[in-house]
């Protein structure tokens, strides 16, 4: 239970840091904070302790491929921000991320079945 509380504190600290950065003259740096590997570190530690190093490598490789849906999300935010309101832009961009993530999972699982 303590570890769950500590993880929530890390998440809350990231949100506060993003909020502070968004009010600064360097507001764009707020887009870098979510890319700090907080949750990746937690996931890699859990996979590394519960599985073997091959599983850790596969998790890291999948993480690299997961940048594709994130890039799709960012491109969609940029594109839709010229045409729609904030809520619509973020909703459509989230939809792009979901579709790209589903495609990634389908491709990845089919790759594993074939390999």
Our measurement of the distance from residue 45's CA atom to the centroid of its chain's CA atoms, rounded to an integer in Å, reads 17
- The encoded tokens of residue 104 equal 């990634």
Q: Which residues of 37-74 are buried (b: 16+ CB within 10 A; e: fewer)?
A: eeeeeeeeeebeeeeeeeebeebeeeeeebeebeebbe
For each of the chain's 115 residues, which pLDDT tens digit applies? 788 888 788 888 888 988 998 999 989 888 888 888 878 888 999 999 999 999 999 999 999 999 999 999 999 999 999 999 999 999 999 999 999 999 999 999 988 765 5
């Amino acid at each position: 239970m303590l570890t769950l509380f500590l993880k929530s504190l890390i998440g809350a600290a990231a949100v506060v840091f993003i909020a502070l950065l968004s009010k600064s003259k360097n507001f764009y740096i707020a887009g870098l904070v979510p890319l700090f590997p907080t949750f990746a570190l937690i996931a890699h530690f859990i996979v590394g302790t519960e599985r073997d190093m091959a599983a850790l490598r596969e998790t890291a490789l999948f993480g690299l491929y997961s940048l594709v849906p994130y890039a799709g999300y960012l491109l969609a935010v940029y594109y839709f921000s010229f045409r729609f309101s904030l809520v619509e832009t973020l909703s459509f961009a989230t939809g792009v991320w979901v579709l790209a993530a589903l495609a990634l999972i389908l491709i990845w699982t089919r790759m594993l079945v074939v390999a």
